[in-house]
Amino acid sequence: MKKTKMLIVFAMGVFCSSLFADQIVLKNGDRLSGTVVKSDAKNLVIKTDYAGEVTVNWSAVQDMTSAKSFHVGLKSGQTVVGPVAVKEGKLEVTTKDFGTLETPTDNIVVIRDDAGQLAYEKSLHPGFGEGWAGGLNLGFALTRGNSETKNLNIAFSATRKGLHDKLSLYTNSVYATNDLPTASPHTTANAIGGGARYDRDFTPRMFVFVNGDFYHDSLQNLDLRSLFGGGLGLHAIKSDATTLDLLAGVNYTHESYSSFVLPPIPPGTTVPAVTHSLAGLTLGDDFMHKLGKSTVFTQNLYFYPNLSQTGEYRGTFNLGLITKISKWLGWQNSFGDIYVSDPPTGKKKNDLLLSTGLNFSFAH
C-alpha cells in the first residue's frame, strides 16, 4: 500500500510538472517540454530537462503553450505582456487590459520573460561602471649575449555601449632599448598614445561624435600632440559579425616639439623648439569583422588634412587580429603606421609599429 501511494505521488508530480511546463509542437510532429527562455524574430529558445537549451526556428513551430507571462515586442514597436500561445502560425497573447491579441509569428521581434525584461531595461540606462568590455595587449622581448635589447609594448582598449551611444577609451605604448655600451642611441623607441571618443546615434544609421587624441614620441622630439574634434558618422555596416563606421568632421590640433641637436656634426647645430596650432579635417573609418567564433579582425584609417597650411596632412593606419585561446585570454597581432607630411628637420615621415603578444579580455 505504501509503495502504491509513492507511485501515485510520483505520477502526480510528473503530471503537474508537464502540465505547468511550456509546450512546443513542431510541424514535423516533435514535441518539446520545458521553459521558454527567450526569442527573437528568427528563433525561439526553450530550456529542457533532458537536452539543455534547444533553439528552434519560428518557421518550424506549429503550436506553443505557456502559462507564465512574457513581454512580447512587435515590429510596430508595441510591447504586450501576458501568457502566450501559438496556434497554426499565429501568436496569441492574453493581456490584462486588452484581452487576447493575435498576430502572425513573423511579426515578433523579441520575447522576454520577467527577468530578461528587467535586465534589458537596466541595460538601457547602465551605470557608468557597467557595460564595459575590452582588453589589454602585452608583449615583451629581451635579448642578452651578442645583443642586449629589450622591448615592451602595451595597449589597452575599453568600450561601453548603450542603446544609442558608445564610449571608447584607448591607449598604447612601445618602449625599446639597445643596451650595448657602443649603441647610439640607447633608446630606440619611446612612444605613447591614447584618447577617447563618444558616439551618439540620432538615427539608426547616423551619429555624431566627439573625440580627443594625445600622442608623444621621444625619437621624433614630439613632446605632445593634442587633437580635439567632432563631426558626423555613418553606420555603413551594422551587424553582429561586421561593423563599418565612416566619419567626417573637423579638429583643432596643438603640437609641441622640443629642440634637439641635428646630426651629423658640426656640433652645436640644433633645431629650435617649435609649436604648431592648426585647424584640420577629420576623415576616417572603423572596421570590425568576426572571423568565426574565436578571431576578430579590426582596421581603422584616419586622415587629417591641414586647413591652416594647405598641402600638409597627417594620417594613422592600424590593423589588429585577436584570436581567443580561452574566455579571457587570447593572442594578438597588430600593425600601425603614423605618417606626418612635414616632420621636424632630420626626422622621418613614417613611424611603423608591428607587435604581437597576449591579450587579456574583460567584460563588466
Q: For the chain, what are the domain ranges?
A: 2-124, 132-363
In the chain, where does DSSP find H-type helix?
A: 2-20, 114-124
Each of the 364 residues of the chain gets a pLDDT tens digit; together they read 544 444 443 344 434 444 457 888 888 888 888 888 777 777 888 888 877 888 888 778 888 887 778 888 888 878 888 888 887 777 888 888 778 888 887 788 888 888 888 877 777 777 777 778 999 999 888 888 888 889 999 999 999 988 789 999 999 999 999 888 888 778 888 999 999 999 999 998 999 999 999 999 988 889 999 999 999 999 999 988 999 999 999 999 999 988 876 666 566 667 778 888 999 999 999 999 999 889 999 999 999 999 988 889 999 999 999 999 998 999 999 999 999 998 877 788 888 888 889 999 988 6
Domain formed by 132-363, architecture? Beta Barrel (2.40)
Q: Rounded to the nearest 5°, which phi and psi values hold at 233? A: -135, 160
pLDDT at 251: 97
Residue 85 has a CB neighbour count (10 Å cut-off) of: 19
pLDDT at 311: 86
pLDDT at 264: 61
According to DSSP, residue 127 is labeled -
Q: What does the alpha-carbon distance between residue 70 and residue 83 come to, in Å, rounded to a whole number?
A: 6
Q: What does the alpha-carbon distance between residue 273 and residue 344 come to, in Å, rounded to a whole number?
A: 10
Closest C-alpha among 133, 134, 108 to residue 123? 133
Q: What does the alpha-carbon distance between residue 138 and residue 172 come to, in Å, rounded to a whole number?
A: 10
The cell numbers describing 363, all together, are: 567584460
If phi > 0 it is left, if psi is from -120 to 50 it is alpha, else beta; for residue 8 that is: alpha
The alpha carbon torsion through 315, 316, 319, 322 (nearest 10 deg) reads -160
- Report pTM: 0.71
Instruction: Using the structure block, give the residue that is written with the C-alpha cell 616632420.
Output: 343
Q: What does the alpha-carbon distance between residue 351 and residue 338 come to, in Å, rounded to a whole number?
A: 5
